[in-house]
Structure 1
Amino acid sequence: MQSLTRPFGQLHVQIDGPNTTPTVVFANSLGTDLRLWDQVLPLLPQGLRFARYDKRGHGLSDLGGGNQIDDHAEDAIALIEALNCGPVVFVGLSIGGLIGQRLASKRPDLLRGLVLSNTAARLGTAESWQARIEAVQSQGLEALAEGVMQRWFAPAFLAKPELALWRNMLLRTPPEGYIAAARALAGADQTAATAKLALPCLVIAGAQDGASPPDLVQATAALISGAEYQLLPDAGHLPCVETPQAWAAVVSPFLQRHCHD
């Protein structure tokens, strides 16, 4: 188990692979932790170093702020600099993708490429996030759980026993951490900045995604010059969980092209 010291406390980090190889950094979604990527890592090109971390207020990371997307981008910057590995490919899903867009805008020198999965330059509205925050404050995450599962997963996955594990992961997220990240999402609009990005970019959507619908994801891909867009027909919001082979099959060629000089 590893951690990175940040001004708010400890950021939980897990690193797999040799220190001398190109690095891929993964940022997960709201209400999940770094186990989100467990199924896809063995399917991606080997001989790379994979670095995952729990956002502040999620998983094993400490609580502490995180009300702005810049807070989370600064954590990603600190992690990449601490890895001392040169530029990386950054993979972000949902809020992780917004973190990746903000990181690419602030520090393009740290990136070889960007994978944006099930995300957009803006997710939801300030009003919709405020309503969710108020629901968590008054009723807890349990009140949201059923709706979140419906938005996260396609019908086929909703019938599987392992759905309970993902529901438990959501429910065990500290409410303060969930609310802080929701506030960051409420204020995050990367539309203008993302339209200026000039780096290799792969954008992935799930055809059955109820949280970031394909049209929204595709519109963000259209903002980025030269971006590649891929639609996974059988996936919802978390294709690395639902359809790991299909997700890895799309991401692997991008990593093979862009992880090396």
Structure 2
Amino acid sequence: MAYLTVNDVRLYFERYPQPGKPVLVLSHSLFFDWRMFEPLIALLQKDFEILVYDHRGQGKSSRGGARDMDTLTEDALALIDALELAPCYFAGNSMGGFVALRLAARHSDRLRGCIVMGSSADLEHQLAEFQPLVEQLAREGAADQIDTLMYIMFGDDTLRSPAQAALCAQWRARMRELGSEIGAAAHGVISRASVLPELAGLQVPLLVLAGAQDHAYSVAQSEQIVSASGRGHCKVIQAAGHSVALEQPQQVAEAICLFAQE
């Protein structure tokens, strides 16, 4: 575990060395931190050198500065350069996917491949629904909105399955503890610009993973990323909602390994 100061912000990261293996950077969702990838890391660390980090404003990283998606992308770029990770695979779930797409479109020389999970390249299509929630988070934190957050971030099977009860309880407790500062990060997510025009003629290999039960972004929105970029393919992850890397790590790990072999 370590910290690195880039762009006037202190980012927390963890690195799983695997000399000679390709580097995979994992970028987490809103309301989570790097720990959402722990099940996926356990499955992939023999095949990749893995780096995970916390976005500014979340986890153990510092809270200062802007939280918009362009700023988060510049943070990720600076992290890649400072740690000499390029060219690497970059995989992002939800908010991390917004970062992944911007990196792929603007800094293709840093990436071997872009993996987008439970995300979108377009404007926020549920802005009217999410705006009051974000305002509430900014005033009072997440405790009173925890049921809504759980519904947004997890699929129906995950929420109902006894086998996933421990996972849901763990993240329910963690998200309940989020204070009002999470509102700034949430605002950055819902107010993001579309990157669909930037994806035309994308130069980076692309894999898009969509949760079959995603309550936030539909499979069609994942397919839109492939259509706009003119490359890659979309794979639907069964029995998963928005947090595909956490809900179905085995399916995601298999898809990433196949993608890296192409």
TM-score by length of 2: 0.90
1:24-66 CA-to-partner distances (Å, cap 9, x unmatched) read 1110000000011110122226242101000011111110123
Name 1:256's counterpart in structure 2.
261
Name 1:198's counterpart in structure 2.
203
Equivalent-residue separation in structure 1 for 2:238 and 2:18 (angstroms): 34
Identity %: 30
1:76-102 CA-to-partner distances (Å, cap 9, x unmatched) read 001100121331110011010111111
Equivalent-residue separation in structure 2 for 1:225 and 1:3 (angstroms): 37
Name 2:16's counterpart in structure 1.
16
Name 1:239's counterpart in structure 2.
244
AA aligned opposite 1:60: K
Does the aligned pair in 2 maintain the 1:90–1:113 contact within 8 Å? yes
Alignment of 1:98-113 (within 5 A): 98-113=98-113
Mean CA deviation greater in 132-141 or 80-89: 132-141
Name 1:144's counterpart in structure 2.
145
Alignment of 1:128-139 (within 5 A): 128-139=129-140
Name 1:32's counterpart in structure 2.
32
AA aligned opposite 1:253: L
Name 1:115's counterpart in structure 2.
115
Does the aligned pair in 1 maintain the 2:6–2:79 contact within 8 Å? no
Equivalent-residue separation in structure 2 for 1:129 and 1:75 (angstroms): 25
Structure 1 pair 7/85, CA: closer, same or farther in 2 (3 Å)?
Answer: closer
Quote how far apart the aligned CAs of 1:146 are.
0.5
Alignment of 1:70-81 (within 5 A): 70-81=70-81
Corresponding position: 1:44 with 2:53? no
Corresponding position: 1:180 with 2:184? yes
Equivalent-residue separation in structure 2 for 1:175 and 1:6 (angstroms): 24
Quote how far apart the aligned CAs of 1:22 are.
2.3
Structure 1 vs Structure 2 CA RMSD: 1.8
Equivalent-residue separation in structure 2 for 1:174 and 1:142 (angstroms): 8
Corresponding position: 1:68 with 2:60? no
Quote how far apart the aligned CAs of 1:128 are.
4.1
1:199-249 CA-to-partner distances (Å, cap 9, x unmatched) read 100000011010112122112222121211100121111122221111111
Structure 1 pair 198/128, CA: closer, same or farther in 2 (3 Å)?
Answer: farther
Structure 1 pair 196/65, CA: closer, same or farther in 2 (3 Å)?
Answer: farther
AA aligned opposite 2:233: E
Equivalent-residue separation in structure 2 for 1:54 and 1:142 (angstroms): 21
Which aligned runs of 4 or more in structure 1 are off by greater than 6 angstroms?
none
Aligned residues: 256
Corresponding position: 1:58 with 2:58? yes
Alignment of 1:150-229 (within 5 A): 150-159=151-160, 160-176=165-181, 178-185=182-189, 186-229=191-234
Does the aligned pair in 2 maintain the 1:58–1:173 contact within 8 Å? no
Structure 1 pair 18/249, CA: closer, same or farther in 2 (3 Å)?
Answer: closer
Does the aligned pair in 2 maintain the 1:118–1:217 contact within 8 Å? yes
Equivalent-residue separation in structure 1 for 2:178 and 2:50 (angstroms): 23
Equivalent-residue separation in structure 2 for 1:19 and 1:184 (angstroms): 36
Quote how far apart the aligned CAs of 1:174 are.
4.1
Name 1:84's counterpart in structure 2.
84
Structure 1 pair 187/199, CA: closer, same or farther in 2 (3 Å)?
Answer: same
1:185-211 CA-to-partner distances (Å, cap 9, x unmatched) read 213311211234221000000110101
Equivalent-residue separation in structure 2 for 1:161 and 1:45 (angstroms): 23
Structure 2, gaps ≥5 residues long: none
